[in-house]
Amino acid sequence: IAYTALSLGVPDRVRFRYRLNGNDTTWVDAGTRREAFFTNLGPGSYRFQVIATNEDGVWNEAGAAFDFTILPSFIQTRWFLAVWVATLGGMVWLVYLARVRQVAGRLRARYQAALVERTRIAQELHDTLLQGFTGITLQLRAIQRVLAQRPQEGAEALKSVLTSADTALRDARHMIWDMRAVELEERDLADALEHAARAMTGSATELVFTVTGDRQGLPLALETTALRIGREAVLNAVKHAAPRRVKVDLEYGARLLTLRVSDDGTGIAQDAMEAAARGEHWGLAGMRDRAQRAGGTLKISSEPGRGTVVSVSLPSGDTPVALTRHDG
Ligand SMILES: Nc1ncnc2c1ncn2[C@@H]1O[C@H](COP(=O)(O)OP(=O)(O)O)[C@@H](O)[C@H]1O
Ligand SMILES: [Mg+2]
Protein backbone atom coordinates (compact mmCIF):
# COMPACT_ATOMS: atom_id res chain seq x y z
CA ILE A 1 0.00 0.00 0.00
CA ALA A 2 1.49 3.33 -1.00
CA TYR A 3 0.69 6.56 0.74
CA THR A 4 2.16 10.00 1.13
CA ALA A 5 1.52 13.34 2.82
CA LEU A 6 1.35 16.78 1.46
CA SER A 7 4.19 18.82 2.81
CA LEU A 8 5.23 22.14 1.57
CA GLY A 9 8.54 22.03 3.46
CA VAL A 10 11.04 19.26 3.43
CA PRO A 11 9.36 15.94 2.37
CA ASP A 12 12.36 13.97 3.67
CA ARG A 13 11.57 15.00 7.21
CA VAL A 14 8.01 13.78 7.13
CA ARG A 15 7.66 10.59 9.17
CA PHE A 16 4.86 8.02 9.05
CA ARG A 17 3.21 5.44 11.21
CA TYR A 18 0.60 3.01 10.05
CA ARG A 19 -1.61 0.35 11.43
CA LEU A 20 -3.80 -2.25 9.80
CA ASN A 21 -6.90 -2.92 11.89
CA GLY A 22 -7.57 -6.58 11.85
CA ASN A 23 -3.84 -7.36 11.61
CA ASP A 24 -1.71 -5.06 13.74
CA THR A 25 -2.52 -3.98 17.27
CA THR A 26 0.08 -1.23 17.58
CA TRP A 27 1.34 1.41 15.26
CA VAL A 28 4.17 0.44 12.99
CA ASP A 29 6.84 3.05 12.62
CA ALA A 30 7.53 3.43 8.94
CA GLY A 31 10.09 6.24 9.19
CA THR A 32 10.07 8.16 5.92
CA ARG A 33 9.03 5.12 3.85
CA ARG A 34 5.90 5.72 1.85
CA GLU A 35 4.89 2.12 1.34
CA ALA A 36 3.56 -0.61 3.60
CA PHE A 37 3.79 -4.29 2.82
CA PHE A 38 1.54 -7.01 4.14
CA THR A 39 1.88 -10.66 3.36
CA ASN A 40 -0.25 -13.62 4.44
CA LEU A 41 -3.37 -11.58 5.02
CA GLY A 42 -6.29 -13.90 5.51
CA PRO A 43 -9.73 -13.21 4.10
CA GLY A 44 -11.68 -10.51 5.93
CA SER A 45 -12.30 -6.77 6.20
CA TYR A 46 -9.43 -4.43 7.00
CA ARG A 47 -8.89 -0.77 7.69
CA PHE A 48 -5.52 0.67 6.85
CA GLN A 49 -4.68 3.79 8.89
CA VAL A 50 -1.71 6.01 8.42
CA ILE A 51 -0.62 9.12 10.34
CA ALA A 52 2.24 11.50 9.66
CA THR A 53 4.34 14.26 11.23
CA ASN A 54 5.19 17.61 9.81
CA GLU A 55 8.77 18.75 9.38
CA ASP A 56 8.83 19.76 13.02
CA GLY A 57 7.94 16.29 14.31
CA VAL A 58 4.36 17.08 15.33
CA TRP A 59 1.94 14.13 14.73
CA ASN A 60 -1.25 14.64 12.84
CA GLU A 61 -3.33 12.15 14.84
CA ALA A 62 -6.27 12.22 12.43
CA GLY A 63 -4.33 10.76 9.55
CA ALA A 64 -5.94 8.97 6.65
CA ALA A 65 -7.71 5.63 6.36
CA PHE A 66 -8.45 3.09 3.66
CA ASP A 67 -10.92 0.24 3.97
CA PHE A 68 -10.58 -2.90 1.95
CA THR A 69 -11.78 -6.47 1.98
CA ILE A 70 -9.91 -9.58 1.01
CA LEU A 71 -12.30 -12.15 -0.41
CA PRO A 72 -11.58 -15.73 0.58
CA SER A 73 -9.99 -17.83 -2.15
CA PHE A 74 -11.81 -21.08 -3.00
CA ILE A 75 -9.89 -23.25 -0.60
CA GLN A 76 -10.68 -20.80 2.21
CA THR A 77 -14.45 -20.83 1.70
CA ARG A 78 -16.94 -22.64 3.93
CA TRP A 79 -17.89 -24.62 0.86
CA PHE A 80 -14.45 -25.98 0.52
CA LEU A 81 -14.41 -26.87 4.21
CA ALA A 82 -17.77 -28.60 3.88
CA VAL A 83 -16.62 -30.60 0.84
CA TRP A 84 -13.43 -31.50 2.63
CA VAL A 85 -15.25 -32.68 5.76
CA ALA A 86 -17.76 -34.59 3.66
CA THR A 87 -14.97 -36.30 1.69
CA LEU A 88 -13.14 -37.21 4.85
CA GLY A 89 -16.37 -38.47 6.44
CA GLY A 90 -17.15 -40.46 3.30
CA MET A 91 -13.73 -42.08 3.34
CA VAL A 92 -14.06 -43.02 6.99
CA TRP A 93 -17.52 -44.43 6.26
CA LEU A 94 -16.21 -46.47 3.31
CA VAL A 95 -13.39 -47.91 5.39
CA TYR A 96 -15.93 -48.76 8.07
CA LEU A 97 -18.24 -50.44 5.53
CA ALA A 98 -15.40 -52.48 4.07
CA ARG A 99 -14.40 -53.60 7.53
CA VAL A 100 -17.97 -54.57 8.43
CA ARG A 101 -18.28 -56.52 5.19
CA GLN A 102 -15.00 -58.31 5.85
CA VAL A 103 -16.03 -59.32 9.36
CA ALA A 104 -19.46 -60.41 8.14
CA GLY A 105 -17.84 -62.53 5.43
CA ARG A 106 -15.60 -64.20 7.94
CA LEU A 107 -18.54 -64.93 10.24
CA ARG A 108 -20.53 -66.35 7.35
CA ALA A 109 -17.66 -68.66 6.36
CA ARG A 110 -17.35 -69.85 9.93
CA TYR A 111 -21.10 -70.45 10.12
CA GLN A 112 -21.00 -72.44 6.85
CA ALA A 113 -18.16 -74.59 8.12
CA ALA A 114 -20.06 -75.21 11.35
CA LEU A 115 -23.13 -76.17 9.35
CA VAL A 116 -21.22 -78.68 7.22
CA GLU A 117 -19.63 -80.15 10.31
CA ARG A 118 -22.97 -80.36 12.09
CA THR A 119 -24.47 -82.21 9.15
CA ARG A 120 -21.56 -84.62 9.11
CA ILE A 121 -21.89 -85.27 12.85
CA ALA A 122 -25.64 -85.75 12.56
CA GLN A 123 -25.06 -88.33 9.83
CA GLU A 124 -22.38 -90.07 11.83
CA LEU A 125 -24.65 -90.22 14.86
CA HIS A 126 -27.43 -91.60 12.74
CA ASP A 127 -25.23 -94.21 11.15
CA THR A 128 -23.52 -95.32 14.32
CA LEU A 129 -25.67 -94.90 17.40
CA LEU A 130 -29.11 -94.68 15.79
CA GLN A 131 -28.49 -97.45 13.28
CA GLY A 132 -26.98 -99.55 16.02
CA PHE A 133 -29.79 -99.10 18.48
CA THR A 134 -32.49 -99.55 15.87
CA GLY A 135 -30.87 -102.81 14.87
CA ILE A 136 -30.63 -103.89 18.50
CA THR A 137 -34.29 -103.06 19.10
CA LEU A 138 -35.31 -105.09 16.06
CA GLN A 139 -33.30 -108.07 17.27
CA LEU A 140 -34.69 -107.79 20.80
CA ARG A 141 -38.23 -107.72 19.48
CA ALA A 142 -37.59 -110.90 17.50
CA ILE A 143 -36.16 -112.52 20.63
CA GLN A 144 -39.17 -111.43 22.64
CA ARG A 145 -41.35 -113.38 20.23
CA VAL A 146 -39.40 -116.67 20.41
CA LEU A 147 -38.43 -116.49 24.08
CA ALA A 148 -41.62 -118.09 25.48
CA GLN A 149 -41.63 -121.13 23.15
CA ARG A 150 -37.92 -121.58 22.45
CA PRO A 151 -35.86 -120.13 25.31
CA GLN A 152 -32.69 -121.82 24.05
CA GLU A 153 -32.92 -120.07 20.70
CA GLY A 154 -33.67 -116.78 22.42
CA ALA A 155 -30.65 -117.00 24.67
CA GLU A 156 -28.52 -117.79 21.63
CA ALA A 157 -29.85 -114.74 19.83
CA LEU A 158 -29.13 -112.53 22.83
CA LYS A 159 -25.43 -113.10 22.24
CA SER A 160 -25.77 -111.50 18.84
CA VAL A 161 -27.62 -108.56 20.40
CA LEU A 162 -24.81 -108.04 22.87
CA THR A 163 -22.31 -108.09 20.04
CA SER A 164 -24.37 -105.49 18.18
CA ALA A 165 -24.56 -103.29 21.26
CA ASP A 166 -20.84 -103.56 21.74
CA THR A 167 -20.25 -102.72 18.09
CA ALA A 168 -22.56 -99.71 18.25
CA LEU A 169 -20.76 -98.35 21.27
CA ARG A 170 -17.32 -98.84 19.80
CA ASP A 171 -18.56 -97.41 16.52
CA ALA A 172 -19.76 -94.28 18.29
CA ARG A 173 -16.45 -94.04 20.07
CA HIS A 174 -14.63 -94.32 16.77
CA MET A 175 -16.91 -91.72 15.29
CA ILE A 176 -15.50 -89.34 17.84
CA TRP A 177 -11.98 -90.32 16.86
CA ASP A 178 -12.49 -90.51 13.14
CA MET A 179 -14.98 -91.97 10.75
CA ARG A 180 -13.94 -95.57 10.38
CA ALA A 181 -16.27 -98.44 11.00
CA VAL A 182 -15.35 -100.84 13.78
CA GLU A 183 -16.56 -103.86 11.84
CA LEU A 184 -13.84 -103.35 9.28
CA GLU A 185 -11.10 -103.96 11.81
CA GLU A 186 -11.41 -107.73 11.77
CA ARG A 187 -13.31 -108.29 8.54
CA ASP A 188 -13.15 -107.22 4.95
CA LEU A 189 -16.03 -105.19 3.54
CA ALA A 190 -17.99 -108.15 2.16
CA ASP A 191 -17.79 -110.06 5.45
CA ALA A 192 -18.61 -107.05 7.57
CA LEU A 193 -21.58 -106.14 5.41
CA GLU A 194 -22.95 -109.67 5.34
CA HIS A 195 -22.53 -109.96 9.09
CA ALA A 196 -24.36 -106.67 9.72
CA ALA A 197 -27.11 -107.55 7.25
CA ARG A 198 -27.67 -110.96 8.85
CA ALA A 199 -27.91 -109.41 12.30
CA MET A 200 -30.57 -107.03 11.02
CA THR A 201 -32.70 -109.33 8.93
CA GLY A 202 -32.81 -112.04 11.60
CA SER A 203 -34.60 -115.29 10.92
CA ALA A 204 -37.91 -113.88 9.72
CA THR A 205 -36.50 -112.36 6.53
CA GLU A 206 -34.50 -114.22 3.94
CA LEU A 207 -31.15 -112.63 3.11
CA VAL A 208 -29.43 -113.36 -0.19
CA PHE A 209 -25.89 -112.07 -0.19
CA THR A 210 -23.67 -112.29 -3.27
CA VAL A 211 -20.16 -111.08 -3.95
CA THR A 212 -18.84 -110.87 -7.51
CA GLY A 213 -15.64 -109.63 -9.11
CA ASP A 214 -12.15 -109.37 -7.70
CA ARG A 215 -12.74 -109.28 -3.96
CA GLN A 216 -9.94 -107.19 -2.46
CA GLY A 217 -9.06 -104.76 0.29
CA LEU A 218 -10.01 -101.20 -0.53
CA PRO A 219 -9.21 -97.91 1.19
CA LEU A 220 -10.82 -97.85 4.61
CA ALA A 221 -12.72 -94.65 3.92
CA LEU A 222 -14.27 -96.25 0.86
CA GLU A 223 -15.11 -99.50 2.68
CA THR A 224 -16.62 -97.47 5.52
CA THR A 225 -18.78 -95.54 3.09
CA ALA A 226 -19.99 -98.71 1.39
CA LEU A 227 -20.64 -100.44 4.69
CA ARG A 228 -22.61 -97.55 6.18
CA ILE A 229 -24.72 -97.13 3.06
CA GLY A 230 -25.33 -100.88 2.76
CA ARG A 231 -26.23 -101.17 6.41
CA GLU A 232 -28.68 -98.28 6.22
CA ALA A 233 -30.30 -99.69 3.10
CA VAL A 234 -30.78 -103.14 4.68
CA LEU A 235 -31.99 -101.59 7.92
CA ASN A 236 -34.49 -99.42 6.04
CA ALA A 237 -35.80 -102.46 4.21
CA VAL A 238 -36.27 -104.42 7.42
CA LYS A 239 -37.65 -101.48 9.36
CA HIS A 240 -40.01 -99.95 6.81
CA ALA A 241 -40.74 -102.40 3.98
CA ALA A 242 -41.81 -105.64 5.71
CA PRO A 243 -40.04 -107.65 2.99
CA ARG A 244 -39.94 -111.40 2.55
CA ARG A 245 -36.54 -111.23 0.99
CA VAL A 246 -33.64 -108.80 1.00
CA LYS A 247 -30.91 -109.12 -1.62
CA VAL A 248 -27.46 -107.61 -1.25
CA ASP A 249 -25.10 -107.69 -4.23
CA LEU A 250 -21.56 -106.47 -3.87
CA GLU A 251 -19.54 -106.21 -7.03
CA TYR A 252 -15.83 -105.46 -7.10
CA GLY A 253 -15.29 -103.92 -10.55
CA ALA A 254 -12.02 -102.74 -12.05
CA ARG A 255 -12.80 -99.10 -11.34
CA LEU A 256 -16.08 -99.19 -9.44
CA LEU A 257 -17.32 -100.83 -6.33
CA THR A 258 -21.03 -101.41 -6.82
CA LEU A 259 -23.45 -102.25 -4.07
CA ARG A 260 -27.09 -103.05 -4.62
CA VAL A 261 -29.64 -103.65 -1.89
CA SER A 262 -33.08 -104.76 -3.06
CA ASP A 263 -36.17 -105.70 -1.12
CA ASP A 264 -39.56 -107.00 -2.17
CA GLY A 265 -41.47 -104.98 0.39
CA THR A 266 -43.85 -102.03 0.35
CA GLY A 267 -41.71 -99.56 -1.55
CA ILE A 268 -40.98 -96.03 -0.37
CA ALA A 269 -44.06 -93.83 -0.10
CA GLN A 270 -43.91 -90.63 -2.12
CA ASP A 271 -44.27 -88.39 0.94
CA ALA A 272 -41.46 -90.26 2.70
CA MET A 273 -39.23 -89.62 -0.33
CA GLU A 274 -40.12 -85.93 -0.19
CA ALA A 275 -39.60 -85.72 3.55
CA ALA A 276 -36.19 -87.34 3.11
CA ALA A 277 -35.34 -84.85 0.35
CA ARG A 278 -36.30 -82.04 2.74
CA GLY A 279 -33.81 -83.45 5.23
CA GLU A 280 -36.34 -84.68 7.76
CA HIS A 281 -34.79 -88.13 7.80
CA TRP A 282 -31.07 -88.58 7.92
CA GLY A 283 -30.98 -92.06 6.39
CA LEU A 284 -31.73 -91.60 2.69
CA ALA A 285 -30.16 -88.14 2.58
CA GLY A 286 -27.10 -89.43 4.41
CA MET A 287 -26.68 -92.34 1.99
CA ARG A 288 -26.70 -89.97 -0.95
CA ASP A 289 -24.36 -87.55 0.79
CA ARG A 290 -21.87 -90.24 1.69
CA ALA A 291 -21.87 -91.59 -1.85
CA GLN A 292 -21.26 -88.13 -3.26
CA ARG A 293 -18.49 -87.37 -0.83
CA ALA A 294 -16.75 -90.56 -1.97
CA GLY A 295 -17.11 -89.35 -5.56
CA GLY A 296 -19.78 -91.91 -6.38
CA THR A 297 -23.44 -91.97 -7.23
CA LEU A 298 -26.50 -93.37 -5.53
CA LYS A 299 -29.77 -94.35 -7.13
CA ILE A 300 -32.97 -95.28 -5.37
CA SER A 301 -35.77 -96.79 -7.39
CA SER A 302 -38.92 -97.76 -5.66
CA GLU A 303 -42.43 -98.65 -6.66
CA PRO A 304 -45.29 -98.90 -4.21
CA GLY A 305 -45.94 -102.56 -3.48
CA ARG A 306 -42.99 -103.73 -5.55
CA GLY A 307 -40.08 -103.06 -3.29
CA THR A 308 -37.05 -100.84 -3.41
CA VAL A 309 -33.63 -101.02 -5.02
CA VAL A 310 -30.81 -98.91 -3.68
CA SER A 311 -27.71 -98.99 -5.87
CA VAL A 312 -24.50 -97.18 -5.20
CA SER A 313 -21.34 -97.00 -7.29
CA LEU A 314 -18.13 -95.80 -5.73
CA PRO A 315 -14.91 -95.23 -7.66
CA SER A 316 -12.21 -97.59 -6.45
CA GLY A 317 -9.97 -97.86 -9.50
CA ASP A 318 -7.05 -95.53 -9.02
CA THR A 319 -7.15 -95.16 -5.26
CA PRO A 320 -4.33 -96.75 -3.29
CA VAL A 321 -4.98 -99.69 -0.98
CA ALA A 322 -2.19 -98.75 1.37
CA LEU A 323 -4.28 -97.37 4.24
CA THR A 324 -3.62 -99.37 7.36
CA ARG A 325 -6.37 -100.79 9.44
CA HIS A 326 -7.22 -99.18 12.71
CA ASP A 327 -6.71 -101.24 15.82
CA GLY A 328 -8.23 -100.32 19.16
N1 LIG B 1 -36.68 -99.86 1.70
C2 LIG B 1 -37.71 -99.07 2.07
N3 LIG B 1 -38.98 -99.50 1.91
C4 LIG B 1 -40.03 -98.75 2.28
N5 LIG B 1 -39.92 -97.50 2.81
C6 LIG B 1 -38.68 -97.00 2.99
C7 LIG B 1 -37.52 -97.76 2.63
N8 LIG B 1 -36.45 -96.99 2.88
C9 LIG B 1 -36.93 -95.83 3.39
N10 LIG B 1 -38.26 -95.83 3.45
C11 LIG B 1 -39.14 -94.71 3.87
O12 LIG B 1 -38.40 -93.52 3.75
C13 LIG B 1 -38.34 -92.84 5.00
C14 LIG B 1 -37.00 -92.18 5.15
O15 LIG B 1 -35.97 -93.13 5.37
P16 LIG B 1 -34.68 -92.72 6.13
O17 LIG B 1 -34.19 -91.45 5.51
O18 LIG B 1 -33.75 -93.86 6.15
O19 LIG B 1 -35.17 -92.34 7.58
P20 LIG B 1 -35.53 -93.32 8.81
O21 LIG B 1 -35.10 -94.69 8.44
O22 LIG B 1 -34.74 -92.77 9.94
O23 LIG B 1 -37.01 -93.19 9.01
C24 LIG B 1 -38.61 -93.88 6.02
O25 LIG B 1 -39.18 -93.31 7.17
C26 LIG B 1 -39.57 -94.81 5.31
O27 LIG B 1 -40.89 -94.34 5.40
MG1 LIG C 1 -33.33 -95.17 7.77
Fold of 11-71: Immunoglobulin-like (2.60.40)
Which amino acid residue places its CA nearest to atom 16 of ligand 1? 283
Fold of 110-315: Heat Shock Protein 90 (3.30.565)
Q: What is the pLDDT of residue 314?
A: 96
Interacting residues of 38 by C-beta distance below 8 A, sequence separation 6+: 1, 20, 23
Ranges of the chain whose pLDDT falls below 50: 319-328
- Ligand 1 binding pocket includes 272 (Cβ within 6 Å): yes
- Ligand 1 binding pocket includes 243 (Cβ within 6 Å): no
State the distance from the centre of ligand 2 to the C-alpha of 328, rounded, in angstroms.
28
State the distance from the centre of ligand 1 to the C-alpha of 156, rounded, in angstroms.
30
- Ligand 1 binding pocket includes 131 (Cβ within 6 Å): no
- Ligand 1 binding pocket includes 241 (Cβ within 6 Å): yes
Q: What is the pLDDT of residue 327?
A: 41
Ligand nearest to the CA of 308: 1
- Ligand 1 binding pocket includes 283 (Cβ within 6 Å): yes
User: Among 273, 278, 284, 302, which residue has the most ligand 1 atoms within 8 Å of its CB, making it the best to mutate?
Assistant: 284
Q: What is the pLDDT of residue 164?
A: 87
Interacting residues of 4 by C-beta distance below 8 A, sequence separation 6+: 34
pLDDT tens digits, 131-149: 888 888 888 988 888 888 8
Is it true that 11-71 and 110-315 share their CATH fold?
no
How many residues appear in the chain?
A: 328
State the distance from the centre of ligand 1 to the C-alpha of 134, rounded, in angstroms.
13
Closest alpha carbon to 4 in 55, 52, 67, 56:
52
Query: Could you tell me what percent of the chain has a pLDDT over 70?
Result: 93
Q: What is the pLDDT of residue 324?
A: 41
Pairing of strands 297-302, 308-315: antiparallel
**All structural domains of the chain with their residue ranges:** 11-71, 110-315
Q: What is the pLDDT of residue 85?
A: 93
